[in-house]
A and B are shown apart, each in its own frame.
Chain A
Amino acid sequence: MAIEINGKSYDTDEEGYLTNLSDWNDQLANEMAKADGAVLDENHWEVINFLRDYYEEYQIAPAVRVLTKAVGKKLGKDKGTSKYLYELFPYGPAKQACKYAGLPKPTGCV
Chain B
Amino acid sequence: MSVLHIVNKSPFDRNSLDSCLRLAKADSPILLIEDGIYAVQKNTAAAERMQQALSNHPVYALRSDLQARGINPDNIIDGISLVDYDGFVELTTEHDKLQSWL
Direct A–B contact in the complex, CB atoms closer than 8 angstroms: no
